[in-house]
Structure 1
Amino acid sequence: MPRILYFTLLIIIGCQSAPQEVTYQESAEDFLNPERGFYHPTNALASNFEPLSENVLKGYRSPTRKGKAEYDVVSTLVYRDFVLDKFTDQPLSEEFLTQVKTDFTTARVAGVKLIPRFTYTVKTKKGNCPDASICPPYGDAPKHVVLGHIAQLKPILQENADVTAFVQMGFIGIWGENYYTDHFGDASNNNHQKKLLDANWQDRIEVLKALLDAVPQEIMVQVRTPQIKQRQVYGIQAPVTVEPITESEAFSGTDKARIGFHNDCFISSPDDYGTFDDYGNSATPRKSETATLRKYFAADSRFVVVGGETCSDDYSPENDCGPAGHAEQEMKDMHYTYLNTSYNNDVNNDWVTGGCMESIKRNLGYRIVLKKGIYPSIISTSDSLKVKLMLENVGYTSPVNARPVELILRNVDDKSIHTLKFDSDIRKWYSGIVALEGSFPANAIPSGTYELLLNFPDSHNALAKRAEYSIRLANHEIWEAETGYNKLNCKIKIN
């Protein structure tokens, strides 16, 4: 009799400890997530500095319509153009540096991140020159001034890595777009050379290297054209046929792994207004290399950040929704993480009338859907907790910045938390299916019943416990807004 009872008890325990499989429902909601989506543009003239407003930035987290936009966005990204118009021939003042610091502090309090760019002029003037509406002198600063300013800004950039999403190169030319410039080689029609010489490339490379050094290593720096990256990585003589970054090189902290792109004329012409040109060197001419550089951009952008803005609707219907246009396909192929919500809305508004805007709002950057999870029901403290999750990234690209991937155990009685970290790099959760598995010793976890949750906090300690900086999964009934956790809707018992 005792033997029969003994074996019966084993059978009961075996049933109780059978794995539980949970499936999850995908959500179509457009919601906030860090470091992706449409950004709000702001600029600050050194000559008339207007600081960021905490209330305005907080307001961007709610549906907001900007300028001529015919659509609302929720946003966690703010583009900040610091225009150094007072300092083209002198060091930055302490007053201005303090103003820059304060903007970063305001962003932190408001729960957003900045995309900073430093420029010297955003004004154009008409005149008797070949390009007519944009004539020299343009108003940017010489190299020695630029390098001095980058050195002054370095401590601020280092101290504010937590609220810096990405940094755009800037500094050279009108709008910081590295084109119409008084000091770094004018490749426009206004200059007889109409290309860049070796000395021009060398000056630009020195500025980019200085900026890469000034920006914290975990943050990417975006350049205006793919050839700027090619010449910095492979040298001034590098052809446009050089190889893009590979997965084995990606996210390594090298310059090659840190240089991304901002296309400020996204699908505005066949070559995006010179984005995909070869600007030559002392021995070679400027020429269009659209096919080659587009192929390079598409491959390289899988592993680096891409964003920007539209600039002209002259390329309609190509820049419209499908089937007439290929706006969404371009964002997918070129792995876009963000776009400007304010410019150019002659283009962006066509995505509203064409019916693809809601899809674009959801899928810029990453959008991770939890599909299924397999978990134990009961384990002992001598066992390992083994979980298997299937997710899908339906966004255009993976998260760009590193962050932990955590399994949270929350005691149902006393609400105590135990955090277990998966060995997984979320930056490699490319578009498509993602398999996530973990096996964790349970010996340090007290007996009890626990809820299971997923957490993707910011990698910086200052923000790690702030829910607004954590990634939300695109599912129904799993998001905890107060904690930033994603509920797995299951419990386990540890004996």
Structure 2
Amino acid sequence: MRAICLLFPVILVAGSCDKTSGGENNVGKDSTTITYTASTEDFTNPERGFYRYSETTVDNFTALDAGTLATYKSGTMPSGGTFSVMSTLVFRYFIMSGYTGKALPAAFLTNLSKDFATARAAGIKLIPRFTYTISVTAGTCSEGWICTPYGDAPKSIVLSHIAQLKPILQANADVIATLQLGFIGVWGENFYTDYFGDASSNGQKQLLDQNWKDRSEVLKAMLDALPQDRMVQIRLPQLKQKFVYGASALPTASAMTAEEAASGTDKARIGYHNDCFLSSANDYGTFADYGSSSSTPVEATTAMRNFTSMDSKYVVVGGETCSDEYSPQNDCEPTGHAEQEFSDMHYSFLNADYNAAVNNDWQTGGCLDNIKRKLGYRLVLKDASFLSSTDSLAATIHLQNVGYAAPYNPRPVQLLLRNMATKKIDSLTFITEVRKWVTGDVTLRQSFKLPSGMPAGTYELLLNLPDGYNSLRNMPAYSIRLANNNVWESTTGYNNLNHKITIQ
């Protein structure tokens, strides 16, 4: 029989460490509680924060550059920006101009695979979006600045292109943070489109049932092109209502529940990208109602905002700012409510490169540093308690997510025991779901049976939140760093709990 002794840590993260008896019914057991100090440092973490912008075309492919990606991670100033950001995410536009009526060439698919390989080696992840055009044609139409033809492709071509891309996306899902729906309309933003219903004043001013069905078919194809552990972001929240509940669904349709979240269903895998964050009362149509064959559009900003706020608690949300005219609303508190909006809509990432006028206002207004720290998750260790008995270890770890959102991709949560003499590691896995670690308190509480055959010795305890994919699991760049002083091990990607046990 093995005996386990708990040792006080040599270096405590905080100024106190209590050791209490386990009670008369737990003879031979000792409980130790360690408290931790939160950090205010801005540092990188995977799948969150300000992202950097990149684009390329099919026929004039400009590959991702490893050196540039390295500078993004270490910190650079965006074009037109008055601030510096460190980024682990890169938005990547793949512009398929000239391919609205034919298959994508094999060379492009090869180049696409090379891009993913470059990202993987650099320790970053991509947010891909495929589109046929990012150009507009002015004219004498109703809107003037943008007229038909818009330049996107018919549904048959879109679906055939998704089928071509599917093997590449499946093979490289480990470095896809999330995929944006794209394809439909100018910029792939699903609005100004030649084939999927023109809801602008240039066209029918609403969307009909067949338009919603066609869009849903494309969304379904994109969901199927990815593994079940990856999400697809859509530009218009109403599309999720129409996809889940049918073309006649109203803006008051129900949001996803906690029980439905992280289930791998299509409903649980549809997130949002708002590319006009705080640009108007409804963010330039983001939160608008576009009707159906049986209902004309109505004012639904409040209903759509409420739906998105509730639904986004458990899915990925990101985007960019697009206009500084909605000021002071899009400024820092108390004049504006930028931080509250990030919190209400559970933002994980935002474009660092656009719109500089809005982003720079946050630097001037004094809230940018807080936004940089809180985009996505920010997990802070509060305290940890360990209770030992022969061949077992019980752990209770209290954390707090002070960020705007939960992690949106699955990953294991492991308690590691590292032999101080041999450095050999034994891993114990918590039963938990990080995608439900929403803003607020998080508790890990579990009793473990220690692995058989562990040699006598002293073991350090560490908390490890590696990537969910085996290809990235041993790469520190893809592990979550906790926001505490004297905890992070940059060479391993582990969070040292500053506590030891001895097995005799």
Per the normalisation by structure 1, the TM-score is: 0.95
Show the counterpart of 1:430: 438
The partner residue of 1:301 within 309, 312, 331 is 312
Q: Which residue number in structure 1 is paired with residue 415 of structure 2? A: 407
Residue 285 of structure 1: aligned partner? 296
User: Displacement, 1:490?
Assistant: 1.0
1:384 to 371, 378, 392: 392
SS at match of 1:211: helix
Q: Secondary structure at the match of 2:128?
A: strand
Residue 86 of structure 1 and its aligned partner are, at CA, apart by 2.3
CA distance in 2, matches of 1:110, 1:412: 31
Of the structure 1 ranges 421-430 and 141-150, higher mean CA displacement relative to structure 2 is found in: 421-430
Instruction: Report the counterpart of residue 139 of structure 2 in structure 1.
Output: 127
Counterpart code for 2:293:
S
Task: Report whether the alignment pairs 1:486 with 2:498.
Answer: no
Shift of 1:104: 0.6
**319, 323, 329: which one aligns with 1:318:** 329
CA RMSD of aligned residues (A): 1.4
Deviation at 1:283, TM superposition (A): 2.1
Q: Answer yes or no: is the 8 Å Cα contact 1:276–1:288 preserved in 2.
A: no
| In 1, Cα distance between equivalents of 2:470 and 2:160 | 31
- The match for 1:459 is 468
> Residue by residue, what CA displacement relative to the aligned partner does 1:288-310 show, whole Å, maximum 9, x if unpaired?
31000000000000011110001
> SS where residue 325 of structure 2 aligns?
coil
Output the amino acid matched with 2:165: L
Contact 1:104 1:163 in 2 (8 A): yes
| TM superposition shift of 1:446 | 2.2
- Which of these residues, 147, 153, 170, is aligned with residue 141 of structure 1? 153
The whole-number CA distance in structure 1 between the counterparts of 2:343 and 2:208 is 34
Displacement of 1:427? 1.1
> Would you say the 8 A contact 2:410–2:433 is kept in 1?
yes
Whether 1:476 aligns to 2:482 is no
Structure 2 distance, partners of 1:198, 1:443, is 58
Question: Within 1, Cα distance between the matches of 2:48 and 2:417?
Answer: 28
Matching residue of 1:6: none
User: 1:399·1:429 contact (CA, 8 Å) conserved in 2?
Assistant: yes
Q: Of the two structures, which has the highest relative contact order with CA contacts closer than 8 Å and spacing of 6 or more? A: 2
Name the residue aligned to 1:47: 59
Q: Which residue of 1 aligns with 2:236?
A: 225
> Separation in 1 of the partners of 2:225 and 2:420?
46
Matched to 1:399, the amino acid is P
2:76 to 64, 82, 85: 64
Q: CA deviation at 1:119?
A: 0.3
* TM-score, normalization by structure 2: 0.93
Q: Deviations over 1:42-90 (max 9, x none)?
A: 1111132111111111211111111111111111101111011121110
The count of residues paired between Structure 1 and Structure 2 equals: 479
Residue 17 of structure 1 deviates from its aligned partner by 5.3
SS of the aligned residue for 1:486 comes to strand
Moved more, 428-437 or 144-153: 428-437
- SS of 1:287's equivalent in the other structure is coil
CA deviation map 1:77-112 (0-9, x unaligned):
011110111211100010111111111111011110
Distance in 1 (alpha carbons) for counterparts of 2:198 and 2:411: 41
1:398 equivalent to 2:409? Answer: no
Contact 1:185 1:200 in 2 (8 A): yes
Q: How far apart are 1:164 and its partner, in Å?
A: 0.5
Among 374, 385, 395, the residue aligned to 1:374: 385
Instruction: Determine if the alignment matches structure 1 residue 208 to structure 2 residue 219.
Output: yes
Corresponding residue of 2:362 = 351
Unmatched 5+ residue regions in structure 2? Answer: 1-22
Equivalent-residue separation in structure 2 for 1:405 and 1:200 (angstroms): 43
The answer for the alignment partner of 2:447 in structure 1 is 439
Secondary structure of the residue that 1:261 maps to in structure 2?
Answer: strand
Query: Partner of 1:421 in structure 2?
Result: 429
- Residue 202 of structure 2 is aligned to residue 195 of structure 1: no
Instruction: Give 2:372's aligned residue.
Output: 361
- The question of whether the paired residues in 1 share the 8 Å contact of 2:426 and 2:451 is answered with no
**CA contact under 8 A between 1:230 and 1:238: conserved in structure 2?**
yes
Distance, in Å, in 1 between the alignment partners of 2:184 and 2:451 is 58
**Equivalent pair of 2:59/2:108 in contact (CA under 8 Å):** no
SS of structure 1 residue aligned to 2:361: helix
Q: Which residue of 2 aligns with 1:3?
A: none
Q: 1:186 aligns with which of 188, 198, 204?
A: 198
How many Å apart are 1:430 and its aligned residue?
1.1
For 1:214, give the aligned amino acid: A
Contact 1:53 1:106 (C-alpha < 8 Å) held by counterparts:
yes
Structure 2 residue 176 is the aligned partner of structure 1 residue 167: no
Letter in 1 for 2:89: L
Deviates more, 1:238-247 or 1:382-391: 382-391
- Native 8 Å contact 1:38 1:73 kept in 2: yes
CA distance in 1, matches of 2:285, 2:439: 29
Over residues 122-161 of structure 1, what are the superposed CA-to-partner deviations in whole Å (9 max), with x where a residue is unaligned?
0112111111111111111111100000000000010001
Q: State the secondary structure of the residue aligned to 1:87.
A: coil
- In structure 2, C-alpha distance between the alignment counterparts of 1:213 and 1:181, rounded to whole Å: 23
Alpha-carbon distance in 2 for matches of 1:290, 1:429: 28
Taking the aligned partners of 1:32 and 1:387, their CA distance within structure 2 comes to 28
Give distance in 2, aligned partners of 1:47 and 1:291.
44
Structure-1 separation of matches of 2:397 and 2:375 = 24
* Alpha-carbon distance in structure 2 between the residues aligned to 1:48 and 1:351: 36
Shift of 1:15: 10
| Partner amino acid, structure 1, of 2:476 | A
Counterpart in the other structure of 1:450:
459
Letter in 1 for 2:187: W
Q: 1:278 is paired with a residue of what secondary structure? A: coil
- Aligned residue number for residue 98 of structure 2: 86
Per-residue displacement from partner, 1:339-371 (whole Å, max 9, x unpaired)? 000111111111101110000000000000001
1:443 Cα deviation after fit = 5.0
1:271 counterpart = 2:282? yes
Change (3 A) 1:443 1:89: closer
Q: Which letter maps to 1:421?
A: T
Which residue pairs with 1:30 in the alignment?
A: 42
4+ residue runs of structure 1 moved beyond 4 angstroms? 14-17
| Distance apart, 1:198 and its partner CA | 1.5
Q: Which runs of 5+ in 1 are unaligned?
A: 1-10
Q: 1:250 aligns with which of 261, 274, 288?
A: 261
Structure-2 separation of matches of 1:217 and 1:123:
33
Q: Does the residue aligned with 1:475 lie in a helix, a strand or coil?
A: coil
